[in-house]
Amino acid sequence: MTALQVGYETFGGSRRKAVTLICLMLSSSLAAAITVYVDSYSMHKWDELVEIGPVAMEIGGAGVEHIADGVAEIDGVTDIAIFAAAEGSVTAIGTGGQPITWSASVFRYDQTLMTHFGNVFVLNKGAFPSATDEIALSAEIAQETDIDIGDLVNYTRGEPGIGGSYVMTVVGLWEFSGNSGSFHYGWQIAMVTGSMLDPRTDDSYLWIDVDRSRVSAFNVQGSLDYLLQIEESIRELDPTYDPDRDTGSRYWVNDGLRSGITNYASWQQGKRVAQLFRAGGPILLVVLTLFLAVRHNMNERRYESNILISRGADENKVRNMVYKEIMILAALSTIVGLGLGALLSRVGVMSSDYFVFRWELFVNEPFLISIESLALSAVAGILVPFGAILAYDYVYRIRQTAEESTGKLAKLTRLLGFVKWDVLLVSLTGIALIAMLATGTALQLNPLLRFFSNMILSLAPFALFLGMASLFIKALRAGANRISNRMEGIFGSIPSSVGIRRIGRAASSAGPVAMVLVLTISLAWSSAVIGDSLPLTKMNQARFTFGGDIRFDLDALNSFADANATEFVQNCTLHEAYVAGAELSITERMLSTGYYDAADLVAMDPSDYLAVGYDYTGQPLNESPLSSMLMELETSPMGAIISQDIAEEYELSVGDSLRSYGTEGGNVSVFTFTIIGIYEALTNALLSDTSGNIWGYYGAGFGLRTVWVNRGYLSQFVNFTTESRNMYAMRVADSSNTTEVALDILEAAGYQSTDGDDSANNDYADVDSEVRSYIGTTDYTMDRAVDTMLTIATTLVIFGAISVYAAEGLNSRRREIALMRAMGAGKRLIVKTQATELLVLTLSSIMLLLVFAPLLIVTTGLSQQTSYIIYPIRFFFSVPYGTLSLVLGFFLVSVTLFVVAVSSLATRIQLSQSLNASWSEGGPMGGDG
């Protein structure tokens, strides 16, 4: 009998190499997908930051006009013109009839300049000055004064009071086109003819443009180097310039193009790092799969290695030979991975939310692979596998050394082997997580603790997962027999005994496969839940913050619309979407005589507000525990509902008296209330957005230091018009768009939005626009798109891992199949046996999934930051069961199809060949280990 079939490594080698290539490809494609997505997405940012108009650089310095020819000859400079500016001021009559003076920079109108860079300016009206008594004003100042063509203004050369004054006729109104003004320091207010510039303060500058085809987002560093070279060449036109001797150049360069590119690069880098950090879970998946691939290679080549070692080859050299082959495969896989990653990035580009696609974006959106992306993907494609090899080598050597050595360290290592690290890891991480979750918002109040708790929340699930997975593998190993006995009734005797028990025997590779499956589905579920929960969180926070669906700041609106509050409120009630409304008057009072410990007293008509507001859990007040308290407040005008923190600080309980102090007009007034209710948090309806500010007051917690009181009672002591902020909160019909309703009402009241940007207005706030502006942010869009992309990428990881598992034991699997066939087992029984093994592995994974996934979802949810404001509930979980089922179904169907394919292929063997080959493999030299 021959010991080894001819061509053994040739055939087995190509299969092994294919499987390894697939696994290795994952790291480069994952890195490429993220970086290429960010690159492509960043093209909009590139356009925004780098489109600075026709002037690329402005050059200044004494006598700069004399180097114009030298600058023009510098490689890359395509256009040049001299322009002059001096100090000056313009005085005109404002809209209120009073004179207004602007002092800033005044340009000289120059025909040559206009020929070269005329499109820097956009002439809104009229013409540029052509006579000494003509002036063209910046449209910006013209707007403030209602100046128009033909009007007269007073122009003073130089500083006011020093230079001569001239009455000039306004002949034109201009502004900079796009971002064209960004290259020039200072503020420009007017343009006059050359002789009208102040000769004492006038300065000349050079405006230049450069060959922009050599500037590209593809090669940011190359672009920067190119621009820096031009800058340096300009500085070198000063013969005294010698940077080695710290002698500066008299010429300075304001490189608008370079600062645009620099801003772009830092924005892009920030996004890349943020997204790569978010991909921690998938990266762990890839590392696990790579570890499997390395292990598979070592096992598959064990026979060959043993032969070489038995013939005197150095063991290290043989192992290095295997490693070298893996690294060559890694280099090859990087190229394929880049292509796959680029394709995946398009999936990200067309995602507008988690698995919500706008298909046309696949083609329409820009596509960019920058040099950095290529480099990063190549590094990931090569370094990550190298890391997996080092990890495998380390584990292998440690185990071998510890097994063979008799020294103290080896004894200690063996001793540590008895310590159940997985139990320890699960216990410690579990305790840390429970402690953290139990502290509620307490940790959030301290920025440093908040940072660390978020770090722990992000990392702990994965540490916990490793521990749980290790225990799971042990359970598989120990429990396979028991499971096989129990499953006999379902799958039959042979599939159960042969198929299921094989899982126990191959637990070292079956376990990681299960881990990959569990982690992948958990990540996909987590992404789905987070994607669904973030808008809900924002909505509930907005409802709580604003005190209703829409909240109008009556004081601010009054000053604009000259309408009284009563009319405005009546106007609100007339809208078809109106459900209920309530006026809230908020006044700040002290809760002690020490002039500190202020609290917001929110005065309301309790029965009105009951139908309008929401509590901090997002529940409508009429359905929340606050309902009964508000009804009591209605009947007990002297009552007060206080926030929990006040009750704790002053050790107050229901029935106690609460005194508040005011100091209007130097007199101290004291109001006393009877506490009728204490609630975790109460809104003061003062904020007009929920984003907050990192250093803002509400970092201490929104909804605290608040007291709700009866409006009728407080009105006896407080003049709401002069002593409080007045808001009108509204509830609208469920199907209504709160933004549309708010704008309808404002329009009906004659109110004009000042800048058209809803979110910038503090005069009103509405829930829909708050949610919309949140989910419209770049970060939100990118996060959801990357989540979509990563979900698809991790599916590929599953296939990679199962391929390794299937290939890992292929020889022993074939031997078993051949044996069973030789005993007369039909193909159907063989397929059933193979399928049972993989299905039970999948089912076991689902059990682990049901434990791990909720944990990952909760911790991921709690580590989300939706606001700098600390809310009592930082995250509202919404479980999209449909999507979750879809995700699970997708994975199960994919895995099942894969299992069926693997099972069917495994039975397609040449019986005599497999048996003859396997007869040798069953012996002492062979086997899969």
Partner 1 sequence: MLNDDYLISVDNVSRIYRVGEVSVEALRGVSLDVTEGEAIAIMGPSGSGKTTLLNLIGALDRPTSGSVRIDGMDITKMDEKDLTAVRRDKISFVFQFFNLLPVLSAYENVELPLLIGGIEENARKERVDHLLELVGLTERAEHRPDELSGGEQQRVAIARALAKPKGQASSVIVLADEPTGDLDTRTGEEIMQVLRELTHTEGGTLIVVTHDPEVGQQMEKLYTMRDGTIVNVS
Q: Tell the smallest beta-carbon distance from residue 420 to partner 1 (Å).
A: 25
Tell which one of 43, 93, 122, 820 touches partner 1 (CB under 8 A). 820
Query: Does 295 help bind partner 1 (rule: CB under 8 A)?
Result: no
- The token pair that represents 293 in the structure block: 């691939």
Tell which one of 153, 168, 498, 515 touches partner 1 (CB under 8 A). 498
- Which 8-state DSSP code applies to residue 247? B
Query: Does 543 help bind partner 1 (rule: CB under 8 A)?
Result: no
Residue 121 or 491 having the CB closest to partner 1: 491
Amino acid at 498: V
Residue 346 or 815 having the CB closest to partner 1: 815
Q: Tell the smallest beta-carbon distance from residue 470 to partner 1 (Å).
A: 22
Question: What CA–CA distance (Å, rounded) separates 123 from 630?
Answer: 61
Residue 477 or 659 having the CB closest to partner 1: 477
Q: What is the dihedral of CA 574, 577, 583, 587, to 10 degrees?
A: -140
Query: Does 916 help bind partner 1 (rule: CB under 8 A)?
Result: yes
Tell which one of 40, 223, 370, 497 touches partner 1 (CB under 8 A). 497
Query: Does 653 help bind partner 1 (rule: CB under 8 A)?
Result: no
Instruction: Give how far the C-alpha of residue 531 lies from the chain's centroid of Cα atoms, to the nearest Å.
Output: 12
Query: Does 824 help bind partner 1 (rule: CB under 8 A)?
Result: yes
Reported residue count of the chain is 929
Residue 163 or 499 having the CB closest to partner 1: 499
Question: What CA–CA distance (Å, rounded) separates 115 from 689?
Answer: 48
Q: Tell the smallest beta-carbon distance from residue 2 to partner 1 (Å).
A: 7
Please report, as residue ranges, which positions from 874 to 913 form the binding site for partner 1 (by CB under 8 A): 911-912
Task: Annotate 426-465 with DSSP letters as a single string.
Answer: HHHHHHHHHHHHHTTTGGGGSHHHHHHHHHHHHHHHHHHH
Query: Does 919 help bind partner 1 (rule: CB under 8 A)?
Result: yes
Residue 3 or 733 having the CB closest to partner 1: 3
Residue 169 or 916 having the CB closest to partner 1: 916
Question: What CA–CA distance (Å, rounded) separates 447 from 102?
Answer: 44
Residue 892 or 915 having the CB closest to partner 1: 915
Task: Annotate 90-145 with DSSP letters as a single string.
Answer: EEEE-TTSSEEEEEEEEEEP-HHHHHHHGGGEEEEEE----STTEEEEEHHHHHHH
Task: Annotate 212-233 with DSSP letters as a single string.
Answer: GGG--STTHHHHHHHHHHHHHH
Residue 633 or 830 having the CB closest to partner 1: 830
Query: Does 505 help bind partner 1 (rule: CB under 8 A)?
Result: yes
Residues near partner 1 (CB under 8 A), total? 34
Residue 348 or 495 having the CB closest to partner 1: 495
Tell which one of 274, 327, 428, 915 touches partner 1 (CB under 8 A). 915
Residue 495 or 699 having the CB closest to partner 1: 495
Torsion-angle region of 658 (φ positive above 0: left; ψ -120 to 50: alpha; else: beta)? beta
Question: What CA–CA distance (Å, rounded) separates 210 from 189?
Answer: 27
Contact in structure between 648 and 698 (CB atoms under 8 Å): no
Tell which one of 816, 835, 855, 873 touches partner 1 (CB under 8 A). 816
Query: Does 922 help bind partner 1 (rule: CB under 8 A)?
Result: yes
Residue 184 or 814 having the CB closest to partner 1: 814
Query: Does 825 help bind partner 1 (rule: CB under 8 A)?
Result: yes
Q: Tell the smallest beta-carbon distance from residue 9 to partner 1 (Å).
A: 16
Please name which of 216, 217, 218, 171 lies closest in space to residue 196, comparing C-alpha atoms.
171
Tell which one of 1, 419, 438, 574 touches partner 1 (CB under 8 A). 1
Query: Does 607 help bind partner 1 (rule: CB under 8 A)?
Result: no
Q: Tell the smallest beta-carbon distance from residue 304 to partner 1 (Å).
A: 19
Tell which one of 68, 379, 829, 846 touches partner 1 (CB under 8 A). 829
To which residue do tokens 């070692």 refer? 309
Residue 68 or 925 having the CB closest to partner 1: 925
Q: Tell the smallest beta-carbon distance from residue 471 to partner 1 (Å).
A: 22
Query: Does 475 help bind partner 1 (rule: CB under 8 A)?
Result: no
Contact in structure between 601 and 588 (CB atoms under 8 Å): yes
Tell which one of 395, 822, 843, 850 touches partner 1 (CB under 8 A). 822
Please name which of 766, 701, 354, 730 lies closest in space to residue 539, comparing C-alpha atoms.
766
Residue 172 or 504 having the CB closest to partner 1: 504
Please name which of 545, 544, 615, 605 lies closest in space to residue 580, comparing C-alpha atoms.
605
Tell which one of 104, 114, 343, 819 touches partner 1 (CB under 8 A). 819
Q: Tell the smallest beta-carbon distance from residue 291 to partner 1 (Å).
A: 25
Q: Tell the smallest beta-carbon distance from residue 493 to partner 1 (Å).
A: 5
- Reported as half-sphere exposure (CB side, CA atoms, 13 A), residue 6 has a value of 0
Query: Does 810 help bind partner 1 (rule: CB under 8 A)?
Result: no
Q: Which value, in Å, is the radius of gyration of the alpha carbons in the chain?
A: 37
Question: What CA–CA distance (Å, rounded) separates 33 from 22?
Answer: 16
Please name which of 764, 775, 699, 756 lies closest in space to residue 546, comparing C-alpha atoms.
764
Residue 668 or 822 having the CB closest to partner 1: 822
Please report, as residue ranges, which positions from 4 to 33 form the binding site for partner 1 (by CB under 8 A): 6
Query: Does 923 help bind partner 1 (rule: CB under 8 A)?
Result: yes
Q: Tell the smallest beta-carbon distance from residue 402 to partner 1 (Å).
A: 23
Please name which of 603, 726, 727, 593 lies closest in space to residue 662, comparing C-alpha atoms.
593
Query: Does 823 help bind partner 1 (rule: CB under 8 A)?
Result: yes
Q: Tell the smallest beta-carbon distance from residue 500 to partner 1 (Å).
A: 9
> What's the sign of the alpha-carbon dihedral 759, 763, 767, 768?
negative
Q: What stretches of 405-553 show up as alpha helix (H) in DSSP? A: 408-418, 421-438, 447-491, 493-494, 501-505, 507-546
Phi, psi (deg, nearest 5) at residue 581:
-150, 155
List residues binding partner 1 (CB under 8 A): 1-2, 6, 493-494, 497-498, 501-502, 504-505, 812, 815-816, 819-827, 829, 911-912, 915-916, 918-920, 922-924
